[in-house]
A and B are shown apart, each in its own frame.
Chain A
């Protein structure tokens, strides 16, 4: 299990050090600093073994978090824990920065004492932790309150406390997708997938039972043609759920039922690869004119309903390292050569569906005798569209609260779809 946990600033100074196991000595702190943070070469693995001690690290802005062990621990668990640790800290004091960590070091030690016991991760749901780890300490609690806390921390529904009340029962569903594409210069799709998340913000009283439905092909097919009602169904390759979702029920009936945590949670993540709507097509044309000049022409085509608008469109066309000057002409939006990033960045604020736009550029090169050819990084694109490129539709989200008298109809529900570009690249 985890033997110790250290947090360093970018210089390698220790901000937090908590040792859980006797086999981790004080010198482990320095070993990581010397061999990883101050290493001459870039670190080539997130797991490092130094003198039979293994270090797992993640970096958040310029803060290093390192977990140490001498045993054969579950490596996936250690990383999951480090991420969780970051989430918890963010929930308590915002951004993970040197200043925030120094400001809250007492709190961090308290958290570390609670969520890791002898190196075993314990309940780390912020909802539960906030009931009893406060920055001031617990002043007065009645006996009932105390046992309520402990039963929540150890209970089956560790993520939600009882007795929550809202005057207005409301919930927000965001379907957030990132569409990833790798396309060959000839327009052949090399790989494409959508990774999506369903984020739920709920402000519901009591312990509401929720049931979530979407146009999952397996469910729709099971219900027969009548239930489909012309609704396009989608094939989900795989999905994972927040720990509140009853997995065995999903496995057996493919129904998604749960009691949500209060406030925001990521209900579900999913991945699809079939029938993806690719919102944009990029057509590159690169021509080398002699040794000192390149001509680049890029066309983008939007491929969705004309009534919808894509936003924050950005096309990034990489340029060689020995570029000396660039002239750009674009039909729409603004384009600029950014020497520091070795790229031409073309920005368009809005673009409706089924439109086309073009940019052309002349790139002047300095003559070099470098034998190494320019690697020609792919042209990448960023955008945001108001639909789900996977085709996912929320069919229902039913809320039942048997003890309190509000019904499903009384809950105000909001659903929103946002499709963003993930790694959306076209080779040139």
Chain B
């Protein structure tokens, strides 16, 4: 009731007592007066003075000179005055860091105040002061406040950790605040949980790989519980955080969806949109035949429609999002066309968005209604809106074939209105209709020609010229029409000039007799009098074509045109997926990925939709990163923090390389035994090293199908392969190329997807790449470069991509590699950082190669040398590994290994245990010696590796495992 009393008081005193007077003091010498007032003994006077200071600050006056005087007022028990002083401090502390120190004591004292509101106020304000010395003092109070008994203080402290992190990230980590923050996720108070989630999400954004939020089924459950209890804003934080989680399987996904759907009835539109985001994302994982999937689809439509009755600004946000949702899942809103009809009083931005969605939803079922609406809109006043409406009619014609005729007649009606911009827009779309339905609506050409004079926009002029050229044989005076355009050729825009050139050439090819003069005129205008290289080149091409081979010219110029697609402005699928993950945010409003408008590293992480899983079975497409498969071990494809960061790494080679996980093998190893007969097989034949008779044990065929992640077997088959195949046993043995994995997803490379593997064929290391163009434009000018790496791998020649790569085209290239490039030790050792360039941009990725690629063919050591070397290498350099579940006998193992240039030098049998001694030579001359113990009947091998460079042991062991198991 106190505020009410206060209100009454204010009224009694009248306007004299109100705060607005502070805005009017603009006298000279004001600062001096304020100074005196601030140092006054009377509390009221002090407060008045501080208010004046704040008012001046708001209107942009510099009152920093009063800093010491204002800070002096801080020591007060009057909360209002304290808040004002704090407000001042937040503004000026940065510019007066030395003076700001004066405030520290009061802050620290306030953090201990018995009143929780004051404790919270102090810690909240301290976090906003970006002065190092103050920050230092903040740590202790913050630590206490994070564990305060009062939830209000804890929720404030949680946000303060995010503030501190923004000032000094290292400090937050060193002081262990992140762990305390994580603990707050289990707090009993829902608002504390919500703020902790918000703070952690923000911090996690700047550490893309940190797994800071550590979302797991337990923590998700906590969040879902808090979701029911916290404020509307807290619900948004939690839902936005949930959207980053990837459920393990469809069951978990469904159960989360079930608990999120009630949020669709929340009055706050942001809660609704964030819930929609979670559902849209998790739905990806549900099998489509599931009943629940259908139910969920049905549940999504009503709340989306309800968003349209919100205030106009929110409607706009909602419509931009619906535009995305409709592209991703048209079925949700297909029956809701009517709600997108434009209302007369809608703000223009709402109108334009609605129109877009109407076209997307247009179908045979509702086209009549849509057309009637569009016709209404075409008579409105707003020029942009009218143009868009006219264009929409054309798009309907192209999209719904049955309606084309009606659309054309509607457009003709509109042309009759003679409203200039309507006519021009109509002609542009009619051109597209002609393209889509050739030889169908040419009867309207006469009407179009009547409006030639009114066309003043380049696009409309170009469209009209195209029509005249294309249908020159049916337009009697086509030559006159085109000639009339030719008069002002040099004043036209390039678009029109090019179109005119082509149209006249078409005309000439159709009616050569009458138009020879015209064509010569245009050719000379284009080639001799123009500065535009495009125009000149096109002119020359036509000229030569016409003068050398008119028949060929006809074939070229009058060739059948490819059909135009229905939907012209669809968002690229990869971008669309990312935007769906950003529903409700600015990215979804701009229809741009966050990296396009956010500076720095924040939000640059690309998000993707999860893949559909069938109850824990393997995923459909192994390239979708975060799909959590059931039992199959699947690592995410190499995540590169950001292009900028990696570029830094490529340049500053001392920097720690980005953390990468190994490439993802698909769940079943690809068997390519036959393929390599001429490669490694023959090679080893010539080597003359036949490792005895390939008698194969019975248990031998059971090579495990699953290969551990990041292990890639080398290429090269032994003679064993020959026998094996010849005998028709069909054992899955011999040379093996690691399956291709996606190294660079299209998402990160503007539509270019690169997958590949490494192979060693006939002593040459090859990188085998598959380039896929998932963008909408043609890619050319490919080139490749490696960063310095552990073994000096470098491309031995340029990347041979000779033809441009069209949309949806795939090309396989194999790139021979040499090992004479610059060397730098990488971590892991077999990490390779690659840069690929095309006409669009430069892209970076990193991958790991199997080290067996580097095992050279002359790696067989003399026995004596072997013995001596073995003794010579200190025991510290020996490392032992276990290979489990390998069912080969020692003979078979030895054969298999030989294919990969791992040579058995001697064999010894002690107490039923076979000891194999082997040698390997790496391309850089490092020798690795190995002792392999194989016990009959025991599927576990023991291997000891000795090497002067013990770092390679781990990689070599991995090769052993990969080779033996495939």
Q: Which residues of A come within 8 Å of B, CB atoms?
A: 1, 13-17, 19-23, 26, 29, 42, 44-47, 49, 52, 54, 56-58, 69-77, 79-83, 92-93, 99, 102-106, 109-110, 113, 117-118, 120-125, 130, 132, 134-138, 141, 143, 146-147, 149-151, 153-156, 158, 182, 184, 190-191, 193, 195, 237-243, 246-248, 250-251, 266, 269, 271, 371-373, 375-378, 380, 423, 425, 427
Q: Which B residues lie within 8 Å of A154 (CB)? A: 151-152, 155, 189-192
Q: Nearest-CB distance from A414 to chain B (Å)?
A: 23
Decide: A191 near B117, CB < 8 A? Known: A16-B58, A74-B584, A372-B419.
no
The yes or no answer to B272 lying at the interface (CB within 8 A) is yes
The listed residue with most B CB atoms (<10 A of its CB), out of A99, A109, A242, is A109
Bound: A80/B232 CA distance, A: 10
0 or 1 for each of B367-384: is its CB under 8 Å from A? (1 = yes) = 001001100100111000
The listed residue with most B CB atoms (<10 A of its CB), out of A23, A82, A158, is A158
Bound: A58/B128 CA distance, A: 27
Q: Which A residues lie within 8 Å of B55 (CB)? A: 105
Bound: A424/B120 CA distance, A: 51
The listed residue with most A CB atoms (<10 A of its CB), out of B19, B166, B229, B231, is B231
The yes or no answer to B820 lying at the interface (CB within 8 A) is no
Is B376 within 8 A of A427, CB to CB? yes
Decide: A70 near B267, CB < 8 A? Known: A103-B20, A150-B151, A251-B262.
no
- What is the chain A residue whose CB lies nearest that of B3? A134
Bound: A125/B230 CA distance, A: 13
- What is the chain B residue whose CB lies nearest that of A109? B87
Q: Which of these binds chain A: B135-143, B427-435, B550-558, B591-599?
A: B591-599
Is A156 within 8 A of B229, CB to CB? yes
Q: Nearest-CB distance from B318 to chain A (Å)?
A: 7
Q: Which B residues lie within 8 Å of A240 (CB)? A: 265-267, 272, 303, 306
Q: Could you give 16 example pairs across A and B, Cβ below 8 Å?
A: A47-B586, A54-B597, A70-B599, A71-B603, A75-B588, A80-B268, A110-B80, A120-B237, A137-B80, A151-B152, A193-B339, A247-B228, A251-B261, A266-B267, A271-B309, A371-B420
Bound: A100/B236 CA distance, A: 31
Decide: A243 near B599, CB < 8 A? Known: A138-B79, A150-B152, A271-B306.
no
Bound: A378/B302 CA distance, A: 28
- What is the chain A residue whose CB lies nearest that of B237? A120
Is B419 within 8 A of A375, CB to CB? no
0 or 1 for each of B469-508: is its CB under 8 Å from A? (1 = yes) = 0000000000000000000000000000000000000000
Bound: A378/B344 CA distance, A: 8
Q: Is the interface of B mostly helix, strand, loop or mixed?
A: helix
Is A135 within 8 A of B7, CB to CB? yes
Q: Nearest-CB distance from B776 to chain A (Å)?
A: 24
A83, A135, A151: the one contacting B311 at CB < 8 Å is: A83
Bound: A39/B369 CA distance, A: 37
Bound: A358/B381 CA distance, A: 29
- What is the chain A residue whose CB lies nearest that of B148? A150
The yes or no answer to B170 lying at the interface (CB within 8 A) is no
Which residues, 159 to 204 on B, are CB-close (under 8 Å) to A? Answer: 159-160, 162-163, 166-167, 189-192, 195, 198, 202
Is B233 within 8 A of A77, CB to CB? yes
Bound: A182/B338 CA distance, A: 10
Q: Is the interface of A mostly helix, strand, loop or mixed?
A: mixed
Decide: A70 near B598, CB < 8 A? Known: A77-B270, A106-B80.
yes
Q: Which B residues lie within 8 Å of A247 (CB)? A: 228, 262-263, 265-266
Q: Which A residues lie within 8 Å of B15 (CB)? A: 103
Q: Which B residues lie within 8 Å of A138 (CB)? A: 79, 117
The listed residue with most B CB atoms (<10 A of its CB), out of A26, A156, A247, A376, is A247
- What is the chain B residue whose CB lies nearest that of A192? B338
Q: Nearest-CB distance from A81 to chain B (Å)?
A: 8
- What is the chain B residue whose CB lies nearest that of A105? B19
Q: Which A residues lie within 8 Å of B339 (CB)? A: 191, 193
0 or 1 for each of B233-250: is its CB under 8 Å from A? (1 = yes) = 100110010000000000
Decide: A149 near B314, CB < 8 A? Known: A47-B586, A76-B584, A240-B306.
no
Q: Which B residues lie within 8 Å of A271 (CB)? A: 302, 305-306, 309
A151, A190, A250: the one contacting B341 at CB < 8 Å is: A190
Bound: A226/B201 CA distance, A: 52
- What is the chain B residue whose CB lies nearest that of A43? B349
Bound: A158/B305 CA distance, A: 29
- What is the chain B residue whose CB lies nearest that of A240? B267
Which residues, 269 to 325 on B, are CB-close (under 8 Å) to A? Answer: 269-270, 272-274, 302-303, 305-306, 309, 311-314, 316-318
Is B231 within 8 A of A158, CB to CB? yes
Is B124 within 8 A of A117, CB to CB? yes
Q: Which A residues lie within 8 Å of B255 (CB)? A: none
0 or 1 for each of B1-16: is its CB under 8 Å from A? (1 = yes) = 0110011001000010
The yes or no answer to B831 lying at the interface (CB within 8 A) is no
Q: Which A residues lie within 8 Å of B303 (CB)? A: 238, 240
**Given A71-B598, A136-B6, A243-B266, 14 other A-B residues pairs in contact with their CB atoms under 8 A:** A77-B274, A82-B313, A105-B54, A134-B6, A135-B10, A137-B83, A146-B115, A147-B116, A149-B117, A155-B189, A158-B191, A240-B303, A243-B231, A371-B419
The listed residue with most B CB atoms (<10 A of its CB), out of A46, A57, A191, A195, is A46
Q: Nearest-CB distance from A272 to chain B (Å)?
A: 11
Q: Which B residues lie within 8 Å of A56 (CB)? A: 313
Is A238 within 8 A of B586, CB to CB? no
Bound: A138/B77 CA distance, A: 10
Q: Nearest-CB distance from B482 to chain A (Å)?
A: 27
Is A46 within 8 A of B313, CB to CB? yes
Q: Nearest-CB distance from A426 to chain B (Å)?
A: 11
